[in-house]
Structure 1
Amino acid sequence: MHNRALLIAFHFPPQAASSGIQRSLSFSRHLPASDWEPMVLTANASVYEAQNPSQLASIPPKLLVRRAFALDAKRHMGWRGRYLNASALPDRWISWCMGAVPAGLSLIRAQRPRLIWSTFPIATAHLIGLALHRLTGLPWVADFRDPMLQPAYPTNKAQRRLYAWIEQQTIRRCSKAVFTTQGAMASYRERFPELPPAKFVVIENGYDEDAFGSAPPAARAPAAGRALTLVHSGLLYDTGRDPSAFLDALARLKARGVISAATLRVVLRAPGNSAGVTALIERYGVADIAATAEPVPYREALAEMGAADGLLLFQGTPFNNQIPAKVYEYFRARKPIFGLVDHKGETARVLANAGFDDTAFIDDAAEIAARLERFLERLREDSAHVASLELVERSSRAHRARQLAALFDEVVNGVATQKTSKAA
């Protein structure tokens, strides 16, 4: 296999605080099936504040992983949580650049990759990608899991200026800029209208098929008289994923006799602030119907999704340019989805394109109540929409890796063509 790619990713096992590790890890696992041999340049494990050593078993045995020196300015260079702002520009892990650039050059000399790929967040990852691209001339694919410069982030002026510079350099010098949502890509096309639209590409996130290996088969349509079960698995927030209006809607349906403890059970699994969410449940008087539940291992959470009658999705206006990873897991579970969203957001668009029309504005209790009543009727009739098998296949991380491999092929073939033209 002569096609090698250097992947630069801060979030990589055993780091445990970001779901971003799944994107980098899945690409490193699935690219070889498309004739691309990846190698990973990441940070030394001691820089991660939260670690899950069990995730190390997910790294392919033959994958070359180089862990470069890095420090966390807050933990390793600060005092009682306070640290110099200058030591954390563009982010707290800028020291990683000092170790990663020499390590990357060593890898490039020894392994001769045909291109470089880096992923944001963290900003330093793109800075390393920029440096290695300039030093070696290798083509560079820049991955944006989130938009880099946002209206309300970064707030620190010095950090914002440096983010803007890194973003400008990255977008202009990379061969391809990859985004996880159509909305994010569109915003970059608008901000850089002088660049060819073909430079901007979407490769969405996805689900990992291996994680579903032990999940039970989907439950059949509910028998008459059995309570329906709705499940939400994941964090809820005061802003953007506030369940208040949903709980208000449950209270309204309960008051009308549409639902009761005998007909509906709502599980809010691992919401983060369990005490706060439980207090909301009690405030709206629906503790007999809804309840929080403690976190469980990932595979158990997936199994719970597969056994539920319907799945809940919270994604409000502050996250309009983002799509939660659980959307793709929900598709794979092949269960009906009730979306509490902003109808103008990316998540609403993805659900609509997939055929899911059981959605309501996340902050409108009246709309939620009306749409939820219809959704529950569809569940009882076994007529609620589920993801098609074609959509499930397209949503897998293996498919996303094939998309990335095709993009790599396009980039290196384009570079080869340019060199041939110049030589002629």
Structure 2
Amino acid sequence: MHGTGVVCGSVDSASLTSQPMKILVIAYEFPPICSAQSLRWHYLTAELAAMGHSVRVITTDFRMGRELAPKPDSRVEVFRSFPGLFVGTANRLEQRLAAGRRGGSAAAAPSSTADGGLRGIYRLARKVLDQVVFPDVRSEWYFFAARVLRRLDRSGYRPDLVIGSHEPGVDLQLGIAAKRRFGATLLADLGDPVDTVYSPRWRRRLDRRYEGYVLERADGALVTLESVKQELERRHAQRHGLIEVVPQGFDHTRVASPNVAVPFRSDRLNILFTGTLYASFRNPAPFFETVARRSDVQLWIAGNLIGEFPAVSRSTSIRTLGPLTHAEVLDAQANADVLLSVGNRQADQIPGKIYEYFGAKRPILHLYSNEKDPGRALIGTFRRGWNAADDAESSDAVLDMLVDRWLDGSLEQGLDLESDHAERFSWRAKAERLIQFAVSLQNLR
């Protein structure tokens, strides 16, 4: 990358919409895949299109038995291609097995219905391939996505801005190829840095070199935290340029339905967690153990549990809901008594769900295991809820306080749940910030 800095807020966002751009987003993870990065680009592309920009997305053609993610905005043109011989073939086989078990109807079957033994073989094979193929096995998509780039080139398409969405790393490599082919401005969206604490230890040096390689060739980069921006600038002091912070967001236009898929109880305080928990680095085990012993709290978990969580399976005070559609999740968030946010053990990441919770306008309980957890400042600054250390004593104390407030009807007292101050975290605001940054980069070329 090149350049030394820019004040993005100095660009008038109203003037940006009168100068529409052709934007090409390369995102392996995009609906119907339902993940944080997929939802990020679902919402950002929709907002960019609503601002008058011409948006195209190159993505995979994954097939899902039950689609949990929202459908792409009708104004966004989507080009899909085969994910690759290993992942793509496994996906097709999974859907055929699901269709066979449901009498030939893939839509009626969940996407995880493949035989347990076959799933185990797939996971093992993928784990091995992820260690062998750099950055991981999803790099096999490069050859299929590159064919789409060539077709667009032959059609005369010339984007003004190319965005490569990470993860996975193949999106960044395709972004570099697109910049070279079209001569467009390239933004590397580093939702997570390439080199992270959960990268294989043997590969971290290689990951860091690849990270520098990408930053050197991109015109700018997006990250989700100021601390990550500073870390990348420190790591690549001779090669860094313009890096902008564009975190996750929430849909400021959505009106929640009172009809929810979660059977909330009227005789208990209902706490809802939505998202993904990892036993290795986002694991509120002390809080779970505390909830498991109580009869005045009901904890609902909608999402994925990666690893072992013993307290979840042995207590009736904790219920897992399995996969819900994104719309069902948003409706449940807006109707829960309290929303549970769990910080990572590492302080250079913040789960994007915390911003989505802002849109639900419900009290948030944020658990932290690292004193530098960036979620603590968000909750405190905007008076959206409470922070608590993830240990047994703090968990009991905060639950006692919440139950008392719930019983006397003062759960929201002292909080600022309706304030428009949080609008800065909406997807519309994030899209405007992205465009401001892109315009500033183009002015420097």
Bin of the TM-score, shorter chain as denominator length = 0.7 to 0.9
After TM superposition, give the deviation of residue 84 of structure 1 in Å.
5.8
Root-mean-square deviation (CA), in Å?
A: 3.4
Give the alignment partner of residue 48 of structure 2, picking from 31, 51, 55. Answer: 31
After TM superposition, give the deviation of residue 266 of structure 1 in Å.
1.8
- Give the SS at the match of 1:270: strand
Structure 1 position 154 matched with structure 2 position 171? no
- Give the SS at the match of 2:57: strand
Give the alignment partner of residue 438 of structure 2, picking from 404, 408, 411. Answer: 408
Matches within 5 A, 1:2-401: 2-16=20-34, 18-43=35-60, 45=61, 48=62, 51=64, 54=67, 58-73=71-86, 76=89, 81=122, 82=125, 88-108=133-153, 110-157=156-203, 160=204, 162-195=206-239, 199-209=242-252, 212-216=254-258, 227-250=268-291, 261=295, 264-270=296-302, 272=304, 280=311, 287=316, 290-295=317-322, 296-318=324-346, 320-341=347-368, 342-356=370-384, 358-362=386-390, 364-379=391-406, 380=408, 381-382=410-411, 383-401=413-431
Change (3 A) 1:57 1:203: closer
After TM superposition, give the deviation of residue 130 of structure 1 in Å.
1.3
Letter of the structure 1 residue corresponding to residue 431 of structure 2? A
Cα deviation digits, residues 186-224 of structure 1 (max 9, x gap):
211221234566x111001112346x4342399xxxxxx
CA contact (8 A) 1:123 1:163 kept: no
After TM superposition, give the deviation of residue 354 of structure 1 in Å.
2.4
After TM superposition, give the deviation of residue 356 of structure 1 in Å.
4.3
Cα deviation digits, residues 102-153 of structure 1 (max 9, x gap):
4224424622211211110010110111122234432211101111112441
CA contact (8 A) 2:343 2:375 kept: yes
Question: Within 2, Cα distance between the matches of 1:275 and 1:31?
Answer: 37
Cα deviation digits, residues 17-43 of structure 1 (max 9, x gap):
x33111111122110233321111223
CA contact (8 A) 2:291 2:318 kept: no
The structure with more radius of gyration:
1
Larger deviation, residues 5-14 vs 91-100: 91-100
Name 2:101's counterpart in structure 1.
none
TM-score (norm 1): 0.78
CA contact (8 A) 1:337 1:386 kept: no
CA contact (8 A) 1:4 1:113 kept: yes
After TM superposition, give the deviation of residue 92 of structure 1 in Å.
1.0
- How many residues align? The count is 383
Change (3 A) 1:413 1:312: same
CA contact (8 A) 2:26 2:171 kept: yes
CA contact (8 A) 1:360 1:367 kept: yes
Question: Within 2, Cα distance between the matches of 1:293 and 1:186?
Answer: 38
Structure 1 unaligned regions, length at least 5: 219-224, 255-260, 416-424
Question: Within 1, Cα distance between the matches of 2:351 and 2:85?
Answer: 27
- Give the SS at the match of 2:25: strand
Question: Within 2, Cα distance between the matches of 1:27 and 1:273?
Answer: 27
Structure 2 unaligned regions, length at least 5: 1-18, 91-117, 261-265
- Give the SS at the match of 2:394: helix
- Give the SS at the match of 1:89: coil
Letter of the structure 2 residue corresponding to residue 178 of structure 1? L
Question: Within 2, Cα distance between the matches of 1:56 and 1:85?
Answer: 25
Cα deviation digits, residues 386-408 of structure 1 (max 9, x gap):
43532432222222112112222
Question: Within 2, Cα distance between the matches of 1:193 and 1:2?
Answer: 34
The percent identity for this pair of structures is 23
After TM superposition, give the deviation of residue 231 of structure 1 in Å.
2.2
Question: Within 2, Cα distance between the matches of 1:115 and 1:241?
Answer: 35
Question: Within 1, Cα distance between the matches of 2:187 and 2:307?
Answer: 43
